[in-house]
Amino acid sequence: MDGAYINLLIESVNQQLLPGLLIESVDPHNPVKVHHLPDPWRLVGTGNYAAVVYHPDYPNQVVKIYAPGRPGFEEEVEVYRTLGSHPAFSECLYAKDNFLVLKRLHGVTLYDCMHLGRQIPKQVIQDIDFALDYAHSLGLYPHDVHGRNVMMFQGRGLVVDVSDFLHQETCSKWNDLKKAYYWLYLPLLSPLRLRVPYFVLDVVRISYRLGARFMDRLCSLLSNATVKFSRLSKSSG
């Protein structure tokens, strides 16, 4: 990568983008709101913590900017340092003051594939599995891998968001998504070539989150009850 080229991009970020950009994360469970994006910058996507934009003169790079008050910037830089170069991941070209310049991954998130009625071949799922195994082999913990954090490009799978890969607690999102893919999508949805409206996808997303939270509470309640019961039976025995 040409250093002078990236320096020009960084200059544009500092002089054009950041002074005019207005983003807000209203709720950590929903995508950030972009209130103002200076011309000629274009929005690529939004996550729950950050907005991702590009400049038409630099079509192969994106700039990911964290919304004020949202954590994760330093961790994401650290994860990219660990990942190095891999075909299924982006690369961090520069990072400072809550923004990262990343290699642009061209593709459509699996979430948007469902909306557009695009067929998702098994290869995509397998590529993502291999990429996550690679990350794991480097001591990272693939975390928060869901439909808006993975992409499909020319029939291959990509992982677009690695910001939580230092979080050690188990995360079942990718395994649950795979189950839904093999049990629901492949046999039922894929042959119908359904275009799923965003509001339905959002209902699924929110129900999943609430369902997972309910299961977490239930599990901790049951494990507390088990501990109390075993203490009680020991003291009475």
Residue numbers at the binding site for ligand ADP (CB under 6 A): 44-50, 52, 62, 64, 90, 102, 104-105, 109, 148-149, 160-161, 163
> How many Å apart are CA 132 and CA 180, to the nearest integer?
18
Distance in Å, CB of 90 to Mg ion, minimum = 12
Q: Which of 55, 61, 105, 161 binds Mg ion (CB under 5 A)?
A: 161
Closer to ligand ADP by Cβ: residue 130 or 153: 153
- Residue of minimal Cβ distance to Mg ion: 47
Query: Does residue 40 have a cis bond before it (omega within 30 degrees)?
Result: yes
Q: In what order do the strands lie in the sheet with 150-153?
A: 108-109, 150-153, 156-159
Q: Could you say whether residue 109 binds Mg ion (CB under 5 A)?
A: no
Residue 160 binds which entry of Mg ion, ligand ADP, none, CB below 5-8 Å type-dependent: ligand ADP
* Of residues 79 and 105, the one with the C-beta less far from ligand ADP: 105
Which of 13, 23, 47, 145 is the binder for Mg ion (CB under 5 A)? Answer: 47
Q: Residue 10 burial by CB count (10 A; 0-12/13-18/19+): exposed, middle or buried?
A: middle
Which single residue is written with the structure tokens 């999102």? 173
Compute the radius of gyration of the chain from its Cα atoms: 20
Residue 102 binds which one of ligand ADP, Mg ion, none, with CB within 5 to 8 A depending on kind?
ligand ADP
3-state secondary structure 136-177: HHCCCCCCCCCCCCEEEECCEEEECCCCCCCCCCCCCHHHHH
Interaction site with Mg ion (CB under 5 A): 47, 149, 161
